Chains A and B, each alone.
Chain A
Amino acid sequence: MGEPITAAAREGDLRRMLNRSALALLWFPGGLLLAFILLPLLRMASAQTWATLRSVAAMDDVRSSIWLSVRSAALTAVIAALLGTPLAYFLARSSGWFSRIIEAFVDLPLAVPHGVAGIALLFVFGRRGLIGAMLAPYGLEFWGTEAGIVIAMLFVSVPFMVNSARLGFAAVDPRLEKVARTLGAPPFEVFYRIGLPLAWRGIMTGVVLTYARAISEIGAVMILAYYPMTAPIKIYDVYLQTGLRESSAIAVLLLIVTLSTFLVMRAFIHANWRPDRP
């Protein structure tokens, strides 16, 4: 190290240091945001005692409400995937004002207040509603049933499914699909053998987001079905009957269950990501 330290070299060092600090500082707002998410939840979780958690976990109706929430949300996610994926493919592959309008419609449930959504669904799926009246003779009712819970969950979470899957399909190079056509694959086969596998991650992300949104929904669900009680409604019910201590314990329990299912789902998505790593 026998080099003379010139002013220019020092200036270069300073600039380098400033650049690196500026880059590092970019993480600061991210850190704040993470803190914003984690602090309230960690605080609520740490306010629980093991005794309270164990006692609410032991309550049959608490367990059954959590199980109801999990399976309804899962069913919602599956239905959303089945119905939403083809729509997402269509939206990703078409241009023009017509598809843009459909995209706006798909986003509508995000803007509708949840209680209003519930009433709107009741219009159609209630005893005297268009679909409700049609299906009632076959024994399918939506008022106060799991089917109603799924309908309410589906309405509020469909935008997440369709948008996520649409982005997944849009990221697939259209030239791959063109080549597949020239190799003899008709459009449905192209969707099935090329589009679907390559958009898989987007679709699965949509499934996870749908599940997450569905499991937390209370406003729309409550209009259609109060009993059987999903976990959020149970939490509210316990809050009214006893208070914050027990109801927040159930909330923490629900959080633990939801978080575990998230981690399992996300691990599954990443493990199954077959196409070439970027």
Chain B
Amino acid sequence: MSSYRHVNNSARGKMSKRRMKLGFNLRSALLDIAFGLAVVAGLAIVAAPRVNAASGAEGLQTGTSTDKTTLIQYAAGTLAVPFKAIDTAFRQEHPNVTVQAQFGGSVKMAKQITELQQPADVLAVADYNVIPQQLYGHNGGPAYANWYIGFAANAITFVYTDKSKGAARINASNWFQVLAEPGVEIGRSNPDTDPSGYQTLQMLQLAEKHYHQPGLAQKILKNAPAKNIRDTETELIGALELGQIDYLAIYRSDAMQHHFKYLQLPPEINLSDASLANQYATVSVHTRNGDLQGRPIIYAATIPINAPHPKQAEQWMQFFLGARGAATMRDNGFVVFSQPIASGAEKLPVGLRQLVKPWASR
């Protein structure tokens, strides 16, 4: 049988052709990648100073009320529903101002400003302490805010549904027993990073004292292990509705907004009464951020120092603290202060000073 290999490709011939092709492509590829990188780097260098200048320059702008502005707002997740209504109403009174709001965990919202350098006109949090803690510039860092106004109180409680274990028989006097029963799943937020998380722990410790039930907190928390924790309580609403958890530690306002059943807990433990601050202060919980003393739940807001639209922010704040804003908050289950209290009152914008009274120091 004869061999049929009549086309003789020498191996060496093939190799050199391949190498030659590779050389051409590789070189021009590298050249152009470098070119591309250079172009992008060049753009970055040219654009960067302008970006920084812009945010600074905007802060010095005094826009008149006839200019179209976008008010940037960061607020706690539990304020989402009332704030959306208030922002819409504000728009009707001030057609040139559009409010762009973002909602999430209070600490996350604060860090948008302090860590991610996002410009913000209004910051509202579920625990007033978050503002000085994150924005006042400790440890030599820059200060992003220097005052805050407490505007509403809330209560920490447990919500549940018809499907929840023990739902039929739970009441104001047996709740701490029902919640401690084996097989009950309780959800809560991360005390290291979220106000309602540590407030729940404070509430349970207060309950121990109030009901004279030592070990109550520990028993209940056994039903709220790590697997039931999420970074903020609103993330567990879905789990409650699906029956994954039976009870969720959350604010009373949320219970009313979502039409959940909730426990009526005594004000001595549910952190809802500012006049009981001293009593709340008798407990302390240990978190990664240190030991946190019990405090009444007071929602607070501020206009950061470098807010891009301070005038419009002030207008919004006036609206929010006024009759209509307060009414909306009340309708959503918040206990609105008849007169909002301010910390750092001397640093308040002038237009807000007559609306508030100074925060009584402890």
Contacts and interface: CB of A to CB of B under 8 A. Distances in A.
Interface of A: 23-25, 27-36, 38-39, 119, 122-123, 126-129, 143-145, 222-223, 225-228, 233, 236-237, 239-241, 243-244
A208 B40 CA distance: 30
B291 interface: no
Contacts, number: 114
B39 interface: yes
Contacts of A223: 235, 238-239
Contacts of A143: 227-228, 239, 244
Nearest to B193: A240
Contact of B34 (A31, A123, A236): A31
B36 A225 contact: no
Contact of A123 (B105, B114, B242): B242
11 contacts: A33-B36, A38-B37, A39-B41, A39-B44, A126-B239, A128-B243, A226-B226, A226-B231, A237-B193, A240-B193, A241-B192
A144 B228 contact: yes
A67 B44 CA distance: 36
Contact of B242 (A28, A122, A144, A236): A122
B242 A241 contact: no
A39 B40 contact: yes
B289 to A, nearest CB: 7
Given A36-B40, A223-B238, A227-B226, A127 B243 contact: yes
Contacts of B32: 24-25, 27-28, 30-31
Interface residues of B, number: 41
A127 B227 contact: no
B231 A27 contact: no
Given A24-B28, A222-B230, A243 B115 contact: yes
B115 A239 contact: yes
Nearest to B39: A32
Contacts of B36: 28-35
Nearest to A148: B227
Contacts of B37: 31, 34-35, 38-39
B190 interface: yes
B115 to A, nearest CB: 4
Given A241-B192, A243-B114, 16 more contacts: A24-B28, A24-B32, A30-B33, A31-B35, A32-B40, A34-B37, A36-B40, A39-B44, A122-B239, A126-B239, A143-B227, A144-B225, A228-B226, A239-B111, A240-B107, A240-B108
